[in-house]
Structure 1
Amino acid sequence: MSRFADRSGPIRLGMVGGGQGAMIGSVHRVAARLDGAFTLTAGALSSTPEKAQASGREVGLSDDRIYSDYTQMAQREARLKDGIEAVAIVTPNHMHAPVAREFLKRGIHVICDKPLTATLAEAKKLKALADKSDALFVLTHNYTGYPLVREARARVAAGELGDIRVVQVEYPQDWLANAPAPDNKQAEWRTDPARSGPGGSTGDIGTHAWNLSRFVTGLQPEALAADLHSFVDGRLVDDNAHVMIRYQGGARGMLWCSQVAAGQENALHLRVFGTKAGLEWFQEDPNALYITPIGGPQTRITRGSAQTGDAAARMTRIPAGHPEGFFEAFANIYSEAATAIRARRSGVGLPEGVTFPTIDDGVEGVAFVDACVRSSKRNAAWVTL
């Protein structure tokens, strides 16, 4: 049982990273507070003391709960009677593992941005520690929080598509189509292999596409062949990848991720085809899911409608026709995490239907990047995962 089992009220949340100028930090903070389940209590929002103080005050933290050293934060918060119960890690990839270790070994739950770590070796070591810890580990593959992604998953599991034959998933963007300005902080670390890891687009957005296809289909990949390329001169990580996938049982898949696709904003798109029907979901139009039986008419299923089942309804906040989007899906991951943490508080099992990406999903994502890099170095040879 967690050392926080006797505590009640909103879950006290800390954050490492996500200071001024960091987009994903603000997204996590909005998601965490949307349902009132968390209250941001402490943070090491920057390793620079002045920026840490300014960032912490900006989001309403008390001066004595603002840190510039995450180790000091973990040590002190673990001793406080009102110390944090969970920490959100929103740093560049190479810092995920060292930060998570400090909190896991003190029994503080971890909510970590993806990818899990910069390297596969780090991911495996972190999983070994997480498995021994009393703390939960939640990975924010936020696209799995969309109601109609949950609906798609439920329909595949119920056999509505029949046996899966083909999985097509793509995630094109264009924001790195040219060399970024020197002061573009988000682009700067994402294109530095020392901080992002060996994968560029594969790690940043390819892992999302990979996780989404795994979450919806449940298929287990056994091998892949990847052609990774950097189109921008001087770039040290991939900015485009085409990946063919072989699944256990005979299904085939293809994943395309790109950050140099002109005109594409955040075009995550999943299509799954089976022996009975196919489905399609598009992240930029997330309130619709399309199901088409072989030889039959296409059905458009909308979020919050009578056509959706329990899995989607659990993720839905407002009636049909009122669009829900990115923040709500992200908040659904935090809501599921809060339910799991409260279950730990009470010493009971996880309620039926609660699901969220875990450290196992994180290891799979980093293994995907590692396999893509290995394959591409061998002229897109097939490699096992």
Structure 2
Amino acid sequence: MSRLRMGMIGGGPGAFIGPVHRIAAELDREIELVAGAFSSDPERSRKAGESYRIEPARAYPDVATMLREEAAREDGIDFVAVTTPNHHHLPAVRAALQVGLPVICDKPATATLDEAIEMAELVASAGLPFALTYTYSGYPLVREMRARIAAGDLGQIRKVIVEYPQGWLAQQAEGKQAEWRVDPGRAGIGGCIADIGVHAFQLAEFVTGLKVTRIMADLGAVVPGRVLDDDCQILLRFENGARGALLASQISVGERNGLRIRVYGEKGGIDWRQESPNAFALYHLDGRTELVQAGDPGLGAAAVAASRTPGGHPEGYLEAFANLYRDFAKQLRGEPGSLVPGMADGLRGMQLIDLAVRASREELGWIDFPA
């Protein structure tokens, strides 16, 4: 089976997520990074190409040149990965789709809801595979929780609590990764809610299989002088009547990447933490607590397929990210079994950002989350 050839947009010197995409894509040797327009600065793009060890001629000065030159090659790229700040997502995706290339894009979909709607129309019109890297849906035990809830192991879901505390933006933003995330011109209308809140939201819907139908949002810009939110509280109401809460913060001093989800049903509960991703607690109605671990006998097909090592050999963030790329490769080859998030997830994430920001600013109270 020949490897799929990837072209990257973004991921230049100093980027965090570009190298993550590259490592994840190549982990299973189904995909190879062969080309890129890594920066709007041609020299920085060239330097990034050197660091990724691709052919010098395939580190392009801009996106248009990459797409044109790669289309003329017999060994040209098979798809594009978009790893830029949010405001570049739509033009990059549009350019790739227009020349017939599938796209995998970093989350959230775009900078604004209007852009996401336009992107959804482009994806539908192109009829090409499109995916978004909501990383945490790639963890084996997240997929195991999803399967058990779908099988009715918890019974009717009653309550969902999802939280994502970080502390790295508790002071004035310094450095490339911090500065663009607090800049409305590059991040869009949402700060913390767009950066990590959408991860928590997507995880809640992915694990439970339930859609949110109403929200009550309280977002704040806590650090003096900051325009975009850095601390978020959102009450949730799900389609089956279940209640929930989403907490996301980037000013919680001492927190690192504390994504956690708890789901409670009429027959039991589940508790999973991203910083200890290889186990979750399964609470039984009779008071027993069961520890479910990666590699355990009896895990479902989705969790087994997402694991690479025997139990006791920890897998983490990069492997979860790689599972999304492996699923995307399945889509490109027309194979079944993909669980990688797509444009529908992107639209819902952008709806959350738009509605939560507006509802909080205008103190609207409970508002509907349209399908």
Alpha carbon RMSD of aligned pairs, Å?
A: 1.0
Residue 248 of structure 1 corresponds to which residue in structure 2? 239
1:361 aligned partner, one-letter code: D
The answer (yes or no) to whether the contact 1:173–1:258 under 8 Å persists in 2 is yes
Say yes or no: does 1:259 pair with 2:250: yes
Cα deviation 1:193-249 (Å, max 9, x = unaligned): 111011100000000000000100011111101000011001010000000011112
Query: What is the CA–CA distance in structure 1 between the aligned matches of 2:341 and 2:106, rounded to whole Å?
Result: 11
Residue 302 of structure 1 corresponds to which residue in structure 2? 293
Q: Which moved more, 1:240-249 or 1:61-70?
A: 61-70
The answer (yes or no) to whether the contact 2:173–2:182 under 8 Å persists in 1 is no
1:265 aligned partner, one-letter code: R
1:56 aligned partner, one-letter code: G
Please list, as runs of the form range in 1=range in 2, the aligned pairs for 1:85-96 lying within 5 A after superposition: 85-96=78-89
Cα deviation 1:116-137 (Å, max 9, x = unaligned): 0000000011111101114210
Residue 4 of structure 1 corresponds to which residue in structure 2? none
Residue 93 of structure 2 corresponds to which residue in structure 1? 100
Shift of 1:72: 2.1
Shift of 1:78: 2.5
Query: What is the CA–CA distance in structure 1 between the aligned matches of 2:90 and 2:99, rounded to whole Å?
Result: 15
1:306 aligned partner, one-letter code: P
Query: What is the CA–CA distance in structure 2 between the aligned matches of 1:80 and 1:103, rounded to whole Å?
Result: 16
Residue 11 of structure 2 corresponds to which residue in structure 1? 18
Residue 328 of structure 1 corresponds to which residue in structure 2? 319
1:208 aligned partner, one-letter code: H
Shift of 1:309: 1.4
Alignment partner of 2:359 out of 366, 370, 375: 375
Shift of 1:80: 2.3
SS at match of 1:286: strand
Please list, as runs of the form range in 1=range in 2, the aligned pairs for 1:190-339 lying within 5 A after superposition: 190-339=181-330
Q: Which moved more, 1:118-127 or 1:353-362?
A: 353-362
Say yes or no: does 1:153 pair with 2:146: yes
Alignment partner of 2:134 out of 125, 137, 141: 141
Query: What is the CA–CA distance in structure 2 between the aligned matches of 1:311 and 1:355, rounded to whole Å?
Result: 9
Residue 167 of structure 2 corresponds to which residue in structure 1? 174
Q: Which moved more, 1:209-218 or 1:291-300?
A: 291-300
Query: What is the CA–CA distance in structure 2 between the aligned matches of 1:319 and 1:243, rounded to whole Å?
Result: 38
Shift of 1:380: 4.9
Query: What is the CA–CA distance in structure 2 between the aligned matches of 1:24 and 1:250, rounded to whole Å?
Result: 37
1:320 aligned partner, one-letter code: G
Say yes or no: does 1:127 pair with 2:120: yes
The ranges of structure 1 where at least 4 consecutive aligned residues each deviate by more than 4 angstroms after the TM superposition are none
Query: What is the CA–CA distance in structure 1 between the aligned matches of 2:99 and 2:317, rounded to whole Å?
Result: 32
Shift of 1:383: 1.7
1:354 aligned partner, one-letter code: S
The answer (yes or no) to whether the contact 1:301–1:307 under 8 Å persists in 2 is no
Cα deviation 1:88-141 (Å, max 9, x = unaligned): 100000100000000011111101000000000000111111011142101000
Query: What is the CA–CA distance in structure 2 between the aligned matches of 1:380 and 1:243, rounded to whole Å?
Result: 12
Paired-residue identity, %? 47
Query: What is the CA–CA distance in structure 2 between the aligned matches of 1:33 and 1:89, rounded to whole Å?
Result: 16
Say yes or no: does 1:165 pair with 2:149: no
Shift of 1:76: 2.5
2:13 aligned partner, one-letter code: Q
Residue 27 of structure 1 corresponds to which residue in structure 2? 20
SS at match of 1:77: helix
| Structure 2 residues not aligned, in runs of 5+ | none
Shift of 1:340: 1.2
SS at match of 1:330: helix
Residue 3 of structure 1 corresponds to which residue in structure 2? none
| Structure 1 residues not aligned, in runs of 5+ | 1-7, 344-349
Shift of 1:278: 0.5
Say yes or no: does 1:357 pair with 2:338: no
1:329 aligned partner, one-letter code: A
The answer (yes or no) to whether the contact 1:71–1:99 under 8 Å persists in 2 is no
2:72 aligned partner, one-letter code: R
* TM-score normalized with structure 1 length: 0.94
1:167 aligned partner, one-letter code: V
The answer (yes or no) to whether the contact 1:166–1:272 under 8 Å persists in 2 is yes
Cα deviation 1:293-347 (Å, max 9, x = unaligned): 122301000001114111100100000000111110000000111111122xxxx
Query: What is the CA–CA distance in structure 2 between the aligned matches of 1:65 and 1:79, rounded to whole Å?
Result: 12
Shift of 1:63: 2.1
SS at match of 1:246: strand
